[in-house]
Structure 1
Amino acid sequence: MVFSSRVTLVITGLLLLSACRSEPIQFHTLTPVSAATPPQGAEIRIESISVPPQVDRPQVVIRQGDSGVAILETQWWAASLVDELRSALADQLSSSNPRHSVSVRLDVQRFDSIPGQYALLDVKWRLRQSPASKSPLLTCRTVLQSPSGQGIDELVIAHQNNVRRLATVINQAADRGAADCPASQ
């Protein structure tokens, strides 16, 4: 009898422990895999990036319905969202436009994630060329939206696309000497 009750106790304990087991955490990045070697010579400086407090967390945050959000406890950014944006944008700017030395400041107004619909990046940005260029300071607002599939991986790829497109818009402004804001891509 004592042996049977100990076995029952051990089995019950193991069942309780397995019931408490959670899904593994998946980590995501805004920097896509790139086969190209970043060019040398350009200086891309990200002065600062701010993001809305609702998404300023390690977990991926998605919109639900018209007024709700969900914090996905098993879907995390590989770094803080600000650091993810900084490294992804620096990567895109340096690999796509090595001719310019620029300084950029970003103030993200919205960073919406809606699986099965779209990823949205609404950002005010300021571009300053190197002092030698004599180009004026340029302040612009760019809104980018990319379609997304149902999965979180597809949503992250849509956000990667938005960052790539933002880098293209910033590079267009740098190419034109920061005379006016380019149209969104």
Structure 2
Amino acid sequence: MMTRLTLLFPPALAAAALMNGCASPEPHYYTLAASPAKAAAAVTGRASRTGGPLWIEVTPVRVPERLNRAQLVVRDGTGSVVELLDTSRWASSLPDELRDALSQHLQSSLDAVDVYQHGLSAAQPAFRVTTEVVSLDADVGKRAAATITWTVRRLPDGKVLSGRTEMEVPAPGQVDGVVNAYREILAATATNIAASVQSLER
């Protein structure tokens, strides 16, 4: 004679086991801004301006609505379909990530202070920087590309210089490679913007 053993689990324990078996992977969060150590090193290594820092205002970056989401948006490899990477997310909104990264580069290269970032409402900026992302996409493990337009306005007379940065760079590896490629593109964009600021200073 065979004896059948039946194991009875309390409902709560059974539910917990089911949830653990179906748990989603924890998301990874990425930022486009430099690490605090790198940002500090850039500030320490820059040359000081005569007469104190330059006041600038880097306004929030405009992005296409399809990119304005928590997840990274990439191509699927065919070029015609985009994917939302649910486990790869921006640490803050994409417009803020872009703005903060550009601000860091400009403050470092121009020995400037961004009144927008520091909340210095009483300080009058000498230059206002506005930027718009026309396109920003990547094929994971292959390449990343962007087209970014920007305008530098001198205050208070309103003289303007505008430009456009278009770049495509390799993005080897996985998502880390895409984020690093985006950082490289933003650094080049900031260099172009800084050149316009310096031109308007003359």
Category of TM-score, reference length = shorter chain: 0.7 to 0.9
What is the TM-score with the length of structure 2 in the denominator?
A: 0.77
CA distance in structure 1 between the aligned counterparts of 2:82 and 2:130, rounded to whole angstroms: 27
CA distance in structure 1 between the aligned counterparts of 2:20 and 2:166, rounded to whole angstroms: 45
Q: 1:29 aligns with which of 31, 36, 42?
A: 31
Give the equivalent residue in structure 1 for 2:108. Answer: 95
Which stretches of structure 1, 4 residues or more, deviate above 3 A after TM superposition?
7-15, 37-40
CA distance in structure 1 between the aligned counterparts of 2:67 and 2:12, rounded to whole angstroms: 43
Give the equivalent residue in structure 2 for 1:5. Answer: 7
Give the equivalent residue in structure 1 for 2:21. Answer: 19
- The DSSP-based 3-state class of the residue aligned with 2:69 is coil
Q: Is the 8 A contact 1:138 1:178 kept in 2?
A: no
CA distance in structure 1 between the aligned counterparts of 2:146 and 2:91, rounded to whole angstroms: 19
Q: 1:42-57, aligned counterparts within 5 Å?
A: 42-57=54-69
> Greater Rg, structure 1 or structure 2?
2
CA distance in structure 1 between the aligned counterparts of 2:170 and 2:154, rounded to whole angstroms: 32
- The DSSP-based 3-state class of the residue aligned with 1:142 is strand
- The DSSP-based 3-state class of the residue aligned with 2:61 is strand
Give structure 2 stretches of 5+ with no counterpart: 114-125
Q: Which amino acid aligns with 2:89?
A: W
Tell me the CA shift for residue 10 of structure 1: 7.4
The answer to which of 102-111 and 138-147 deviates more is 138-147
Give structure 1 stretches of 5+ with no counterpart: 180-185
Tell me the CA shift for residue 16 of structure 1: 2.1
What is the TM-score with the length of structure 1 in the denominator?
A: 0.83
- The DSSP-based 3-state class of the residue aligned with 1:79 is coil
Give the equivalent residue in structure 1 for 2:121. Answer: none
The answer to which of 36-45 and 47-56 deviates more is 36-45
CA RMSD of aligned residues (A): 2.8
Closer/same/farther in 2, CA of residues 70 and 171 from structure 1, 3 Å limit: same
* Aligned-pair identity (%): 28
Give the equivalent residue in structure 2 for 1:151. Answer: 174
